[in-house]
Structures are given as C-alpha cells and as structure tokens.
C-alpha cells in the first residue's frame, strides 16, 4: 500500500482532538480564543506531547547555565506562543485584520517597494517566531504579491484543513517538493514575492551554525534568490505584550554571495532576533539533530 494512502489511527485521533479544540475556540471572541488556546497548549498539550522535554533539552544545549526558574517560565511561555499562533492561523479575517493593522517598518521596506515597481522577484525569509504568517498577511494587505512555500505536515488529516486555513490568509501557496516547484518558479519569474519559513532541521541540508551549534539547514532560499536574481529579505512578526498584536520588521536585503554564506547570514540574523525575545521562538522543534 502506498504511504500516502496508509491509514494511521493515531493521526486520525490527533486530528479529531485538535479539530474539536479549534472548532470550540472559534466560537469564542478573538480576544478570548487566542489566550485560551495559548493556555491549553502550555498547560495541557505541551506536557502530554513531550514538548516540555524538548524545550528543556534545547535550552540546556544552547544555554547550559540558564537558571531553573527561567527554564520553568520558558516551558510555559513557548507553547503558549505556539498555541496562540495555531488558533490565529485558523481565525481568517480576524487575524488578517490584526496583521494589516500592525506597525510595518524596517530598512527593507524601500527595497520591497522598488522590487514591486520594477517587477523584480523577492524571497522573504522568516522563522518559526512570534506568528510567522503575520508578515505575509500584512504585506498582502498592503498590496505586495506574496505567495508562500510551506512544508506539508506528516499528519495528512490535519494537513488538509491546515492548508485551507493558511490559504484563507492569502494565496498562492506552494507545497515543498516537486508538485509545487513548477508553479513556484513561474510565480517568482513573474516578479512574485515568495515567503519561506527556514529554521527547521533538513535531512538534506548543509551543516551550518545556529546558536553556535551545528544545524542542518536548507539552502533553497539563497539558491532561488541567486538563480532568479531575487532580493532575499528577512522579516519577523514579534508578538507584542498584549499577546494579540504584532510589530513587523522588514530588514535590509541579504547581499548575494555563495548559498552557504547567504544562508549562514540568515541563521545569524534570526539568532540575533530570537535572543531579544527568547520565548517567541518555537523551541519545540528538533532543530539540532546534526
């Protein structure tokens, strides 16, 4: 039986529970559902799913001297941000309105305006930080032609409605892999802006440094920028203290060079930003398998 058609009862049950939670939360006003989903992820899902253990292991690797009280705070704050992000992505117009109203600033904005005027393609690179889709929503809301490259989830039941949810934020979207590659390249060649979230472990990536540790990292963003003479621009949406709104930075383009040097610059750029808001990065990822 083909892997794509194989039925997994654990994935089906996980999806059933998550769909039920998301469906219930969407009945609530936005200002209630977002913090409540954060609380559920932090207090219920994270301990059961093993996220607490993974966050602790990652923090001990990167910050071996971090005091235990700060680790305990991070064990709740990190999944709280993850939970808020999940329900925001399913909140459609309400989330898009928040993102469009967010302050959008940085030295890269002028470069984006020039690229739009001249038809030059742009590769926008972010990480799993704050809400990684708020930048895309904000730029689309201001008329920039932003598409998104996404990594399909291993749980195909959840992936189906997840893709539908992020499509409501904006299209086009392109799945990683051969199926979405041709459409993605046509989009870039036409002067499109392609958003990429590039901070997860990639088995076929190159061993680069992230927080001083070896991390297998995809070179795809840099390679696309070089091949199609696209700007490569880091952008991040930092969650503000009220837990609902964002401050969106569009930073200066990364200079073209070798794919490895450009990608390392992106890693360094993200690291610098994460260090300013440690609890907003997804420390639940297995980033340092290398």
- pLDDT of 213 reads 97
Q: Report residue 39's pLDDT band, with 50, 70 and 90 as the boundaries.
A: very high
* Angle made by CA atoms 289, 124, 200, in degrees to the nearest 5: 10
Q: Are strands 231-239 and 246-250 parallel, antiparallel or unpaired?
A: antiparallel
In eight-state DSSP terms, residue 253 is P
Of all residues in the chain, the percent with pLDDT exceeding 70 is 98
Q: Is the peptide bond before 145 cis (omega within 30 degrees of 0)?
A: no
Is a pLDDT exceeding 80 seen at residue 290? Answer: no
Q: Report residue 160's pLDDT band, with 50, 70 and 90 as the boundaries.
A: confident
- pLDDT of 282 reads 97
Q: Are strands 213-217 and 206-210 parallel, antiparallel or unpaired?
A: antiparallel
Q: In whole angstroms, what is the distance from residue 191 CA to residue 64 CA? A: 45
Sequence spans of domains, the chain: 9-89, 101-280
Is a pLDDT exceeding 50 seen at residue 3? Answer: no
pLDDT in tens, 73-106: 999 999 999 999 999 999 999 999 999 999 999 9
Mean pLDDT, range 32-52, rounded to an integer? 96
Is a pLDDT exceeding 60 seen at residue 283? Answer: yes
**In 178-219, which residue ranges form alpha helices assigned H by DSSP?**
178-189
pLDDT in tens, 208-257: 999 999 999 999 999 999 999 999 999 999 999 999 999 999 999 999 99
pTM of the model: 0.92
Task: Enter the tokens of residue 35.
Answer: 């913090």
Is a pLDDT exceeding 50 seen at residue 289? Answer: yes
Q: Are strands 173-175 and 213-217 parallel, antiparallel or unpaired?
A: unpaired
């Amino acid at each position: 039986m083909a892997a794509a058609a194989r039925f997994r009862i654990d994935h089906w049950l996980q999806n059933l529970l998550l769909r039920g939670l998301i469906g219930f939360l969407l009945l609530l006003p936005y200002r209630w559902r977002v913090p409540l989903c954060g609380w559920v992820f932090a207090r219920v899902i994270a301990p059961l799913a093993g996220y607490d253990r993974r966050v602790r292991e990652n923090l001990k690797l990167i910050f071996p001297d971090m005091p235990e009280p700060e680790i305990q705070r991070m064990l709740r704050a990190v999944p709280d941000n993850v939970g808020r992000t999940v329900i925001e992505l399913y909140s459609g117009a309400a989330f898009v309105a928040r993102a469009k109203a967010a302050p959008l600033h940085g030295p890269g904005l002028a470069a984006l305006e020039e690229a739009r005027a001249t038809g030059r393609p742009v590769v926008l690179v972010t990480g799993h930080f704050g809400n990684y889709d708020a930048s895309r929503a904000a730029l689309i809301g201001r008329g920039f032609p932003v598409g998104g490259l996404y990594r399909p989830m291993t749980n195909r039941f959840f992936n189906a409605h997840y893709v539908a949810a992020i499509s409501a934020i904006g299209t086009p979207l392109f799945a990683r892999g051969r199926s979405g590659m041709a459409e993605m390249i046509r989009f870039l060649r036409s002067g499109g802006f392609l958003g990429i979230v590039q901070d997860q472990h990639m088995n076929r990536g190159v061993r680069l440094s992230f927080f001083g540790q070896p991390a297998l990292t995809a070179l795809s963003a840099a390679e696309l920028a070089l091949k199609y003479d696209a700007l490569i621009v880091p952008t991040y949406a930092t969650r503000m203290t009220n837990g609902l709104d964002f401050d969106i930075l569009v930073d200066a383009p990364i200079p073209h060079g070798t794919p490895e040097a450009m990608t390392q610059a992106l890693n360094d750029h993200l690291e610098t930003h994460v260090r300013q808001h440690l609890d907003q990065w997804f420390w639940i990822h297995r980033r340092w398998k290398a």
